[in-house]
């Protein structure tokens, strides 16, 4: 569908039904991923409301303990495998081809297959609520032996469905990773060397490399877990000579890098957005790019810090404490780069910028509690307590989810072709920022006082902070309302978006809003300068003025 003239005209009103079928256009797949992910976000969020409803009082008085355990397990599982990873893959699909000037992903059909696995394993996972015995109940870690006890002794059980769903999720993720990595390595626009590539693509490359290296270890460990559960093997059962701690090594060898898979794209989002809304180049662009890969390397050798109180030896604890501490250094480089970017900028506090600032604030706080957790003596006291729950929710909700919201508001005009409502956006930000801090800050004193995590009841001295946390959670629940209202009404009746509403620098902003199916098609512009050239007065691509003029004319005549 390449057009004879450039820039190509925006597509006519395409049928919305294409979002419901097997479509190989990365931009359609991206929307499919994001909408599906937010659907599961609502389910995971509902489960969180039940958890906090139970924990607002010390006794186990809202739901049965088995129900609580199933719910907190599925909350974590759904939020990770059905929300965070899919929504980030959605952003990858929208942004990678358009940012590098490619018409689509390297393997469009594989791309669609990878997406469609998500509702499939999502259904499998939700179905586990309805099998006899209920869903998996041992946390999203599924540590044996407790996860393979299978109380009812049925072959089809919640835990088995959980393992199958997670394995399928791994397959889907590897398919995606192959696609993203190949696309970034092979399909960049002429003139776009690695050090002219947007940081979002750097962090995507880094994150997806981690997926490729780490996921197979989880798959291997999960296969062995499934064998133990379903066929009576003894990989992790001590009676047969197995070792429960072996599972922990497999699990965390992937799941630690997984947290970098989550946060690296968010670092990429911050790196893209701070320059736009400060009208200033990204400070130390090259160092920010390189830091992404230092994080990849270090991220692969820290996993035992999740196992400090487990059955690991003293020398292992010390070694992994040192490697874990080192990750603070490249992360710090990025944080300081963002501060350097906004310093003496001309800030516009739009919704995306507010989410980035709030996300950065929460991230620095989480980084500090992370350093505390890295030191073995403190970790021995607070591991498996609410201190850890507070830490990772600050990172995931406080930083990553806020970064994702920032990205949604920022690129909504580009890919949907309409402007979101600023007022609702700012309200969403306020409720989210207050709600997240109110929900997750009290978890830190709880952990320090010794309240374990995953408990369906607790001693009365923990009540005060739990009440505050639950109120914060309910506020977070409410905060989603302006977001959903905004998305739906903007999509249906928002103002038409021009090709570059934020006056940003980047290849994606040289396309119509929304872009045609094959983006630049045959007329990929040649990149002639570094990204984020705010204030330098140089064009990003050859013939940029003509391209801009054509786009503006198109919009005027529409």
Partner 1 sequence: MTPPPASPRSLISRLGLVALIAWIALLVVLSWWVAQVSYTWLPVQASTAAPLVDGLFSFETGIGTFVFAAVVSVMVWVVLMHRAEKYDESDAEPIEGNTRLEVIWTVIPFVLVMAIAVYAMRVNTSLGVLGPMEHIHLANPIEDQGGYPGDRLPAEQVEVIARQWSWEFRYPDANVSSTELHLPVDQPVTFRLVSNDVLHGFYIPAFRLKQDVIPGRAIDFNLTPTREGRYRLRDSQFSGTWFAANQADVVVESAAAYRAWLKQAASEPLQAGLSDATTEFDIRKQLNNPGWATVPPAPPPQVNVPGSNTLPHDA
Partner 2 sequence: MTATIPQHQSEHPKHNLTGFIIFLCSESVIFLAFFSGFALLKTSALNWLPAGVEGLEWRTPLINTVVLISSSGTIWLAERCMAKGNLLGFRAFWLVTMALGAYFLYGQAVEWGGLQFGFTSGVFGGTFYLLTGFHGLHVATGVFLMGLMLVKSFIPQNYAGGEQGVQATSLFWHFVDVIWIILFVLIYVWQRS
Where in 291-310 is the site for partner 1 (CB under 8 A)? 309-310
**Part of the chain binding partner 2 (CB under 8 A), chosen from 241-249, 320-328, 445-453, 465-473:** 241-249
- Residue 380 pairs in a beta bridge with none
Site size for partner 2, by CB under 8 A?
54
Instruction: Report residue 418: phi and psi, to 5°.
Output: -135, 160
| Residue from the set 182, 384, 489, 544 that interacts with partner 1 by CB under 8 A | 384
Contact between 521 and partner 2 by CB under 8 A: the answer reads yes
Contact between 230 and partner 2 by CB under 8 A: the answer reads no
**Binding to partner 1, residues 426-465 (CB under 8 A):** 444-445, 448-450, 452, 454-459
Instruction: Report residue 527: phi and psi, to 5°.
Output: -80, 130
Contact between 64 and partner 1 by CB under 8 A: the answer reads yes
| Residue from the set 19, 194, 195, 343 that interacts with partner 1 by CB under 8 A | 343
| Residue from the set 132, 153, 193, 241 that interacts with partner 2 by CB under 8 A | 241
Count Cα neighbours of 264 within 13 Å in the Cβ-side half-sphere: 35
Return the number of the residue (82 or 177) whose C-beta is nearest partner 2: 177
Q: By the 8 A CB rule, do 125 and 58 touch?
A: no
Angle at 158 between CA 157 and CA 163, to 5 degrees: 100
Contact between 11 and partner 1 by CB under 8 A: the answer reads no
Contact between 232 and partner 2 by CB under 8 A: the answer reads yes
Measured between alpha carbons, how far is 198 from 187 in angstroms, rounded to an integer?
14
- Tokens 């939020």 identify what position? 79
Which residue in 120, 116, 109, 112 sits closest to 166, CA to CA? Answer: 120
Measured between alpha carbons, how far is 242 from 255 in angstroms, rounded to an integer?
22
Contact between 303 and partner 2 by CB under 8 A: the answer reads no
Contacted by 233, from partner 1, partner 2, none: CB < 5 to 8 Å by type:
partner 2
Return the number of the residue (106 or 304) whose C-beta is nearest partner 2: 106
Contact between 9 and partner 1 by CB under 8 A: the answer reads no
Return the number of the residue (83 or 532) whose C-beta is nearest partner 1: 532
Return the number of the residue (27 or 280) whose C-beta is nearest partner 1: 280
Measured between alpha carbons, how far is 136 from 539 in angstroms, rounded to an integer?
55
Contact between 232 and partner 1 by CB under 8 A: the answer reads no
| Residue from the set 156, 349, 481, 484 that interacts with partner 1 by CB under 8 A | 349
Contact between 485 and partner 2 by CB under 8 A: the answer reads no
- Tokens 């590539």 identify what position? 197
Least spacing, CB of residue 272 vs partner 1, in Å: 16
Which pairs from 67-71 meet CB under 8 Å and 24+ separation? 67/134, 68/456, 69/137, 69/138, 69/454, 69/456, 70/129, 70/134, 70/135, 70/136, 70/137, 70/158, 71/47
Structure tokens at 292: 């992404």
**Binding to partner 2, residues 139-178 (CB under 8 A):** 174, 177-178
Q: How far is CA 116 from CA 23, 120, 122, 123, 415, in A?
A: 10, 7, 10, 11, 21
Contact between 217 and partner 2 by CB under 8 A: the answer reads yes
- Tokens 């072996």 identify what position? 246
Q: Which residues bind partner 2 (CB under 8 A)?
A: 1-2, 17-18, 21-25, 28, 103-104, 106-109, 174, 177-179, 181-182, 185-187, 212-217, 219-221, 223-224, 227, 231-235, 240-243, 246, 249-250, 253, 517-518, 521-522
């Amino acid at each position: 569908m390449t057009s004879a003239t450039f820039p190509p005209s925006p597509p006519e009103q395409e049928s919305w039904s294409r979002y419901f079928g097997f479509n190989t256009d990365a931009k359609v797949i991206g929307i499919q991923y994001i909408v599906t992910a937010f659907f599961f976000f609502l389910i995971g969020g509902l489960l969180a409301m039940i958890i906090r409803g139970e924990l607002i009082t010390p006794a186990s008085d809202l739901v049965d303990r088995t129900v609580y355990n199933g719910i907190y397990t599925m909350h974590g599982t759904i939020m990770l495998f059905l929300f965070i990873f899919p929504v980030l893959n959605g952003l990858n699909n929208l942004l990678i081809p358009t940012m590098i000037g490619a018409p689509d992903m390297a393997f469009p059909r594989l791309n669609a297959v990878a997406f469609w696995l998500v509702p499939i394993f999502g259904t499998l996972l939700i179905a586990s609520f309805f099998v006899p015995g209920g869903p998996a109940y041992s946390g999203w870690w599924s540590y044996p032996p407790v996860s393979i006890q299978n109380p009812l002794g049925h072959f089809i059980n919640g835990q088995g469905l959980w393992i199958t769903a997670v394995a399928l999720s791994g397959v889907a993720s590897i398919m995606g990773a192959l696609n993203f990595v190949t696309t970034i390595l092979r399909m960049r626009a002429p003139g776009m060397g690695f050090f002219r590539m947007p940081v979002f693509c750097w962090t995507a490359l880094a994150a997806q490399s981690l997926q490729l290296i780490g996921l197979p270890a989880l798959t291997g460990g999960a296969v062995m877990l499934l064998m133990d559960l379903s066929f009576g093997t003894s990989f992790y059962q001590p009676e047969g000579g197995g070792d429960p701690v072996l599972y922990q090594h497999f699990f965390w060898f992937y799941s630690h890098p997984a947290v970098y898979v989550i946060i690296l794209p968010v670092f990429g989002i911050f790196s893209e957005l701070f320059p736009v809304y400060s009208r200033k180049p990204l400070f130390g662009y090259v160092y920010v790019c390189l830091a992404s890969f230092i994080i990849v390397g270090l991220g692969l050798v820290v996993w035992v810090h999740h196992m400090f109180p487990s059955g690991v030896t003293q020398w292992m604890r010390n070694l992994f404490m040192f490697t874990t501490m080192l990750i603070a250094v490249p992360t710090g480089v990025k944080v300081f780069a963002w501060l350097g970017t906004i310093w003496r900028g001309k800030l516009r506090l739009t919704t995306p910028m507010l989410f980035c600032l709030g996300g950065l604030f929460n991230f620095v706080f989480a980084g500090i509690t992370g350093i505390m957790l890295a030191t073995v003596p403190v970790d021995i006291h607070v591991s498996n307590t609410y201190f850890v729950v507070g830490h990772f929710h600050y990172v995931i909700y406080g930083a990553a989810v806020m970064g994702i919201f920032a990205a949604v508001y920022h690129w909504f005009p580009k890919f949907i072709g309409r402007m979101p409502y600023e007022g609702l956006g700012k309200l969403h930000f306020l409720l989210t920022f207050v709600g997240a801090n109110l929900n997750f800050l009290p978890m830190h004193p709880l952990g320090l006082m010794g309240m374990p995590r995953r408990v369906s009841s607790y001693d009365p001295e923990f009540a005060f902070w739990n009440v505050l946390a639950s109120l914060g959670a309910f506020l977070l629940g409410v905060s989603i309302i302006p977001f959903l209202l905004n998305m739906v009404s903007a999509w249906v009746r928002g103002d038409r978006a021009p090709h570059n509403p934020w006056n940003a620098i980047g290849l994606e902003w040289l396309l119509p809003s929304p872009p045609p199916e094959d983006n630049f098609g045959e007329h990929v512009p040649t990149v002639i300068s570094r990204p984020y050239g705010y204030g330098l007065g140089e064009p990003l691509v050859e013939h940029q003025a003509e391209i801009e003029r054509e786009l503006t004319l198109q919009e005027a005549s529409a």
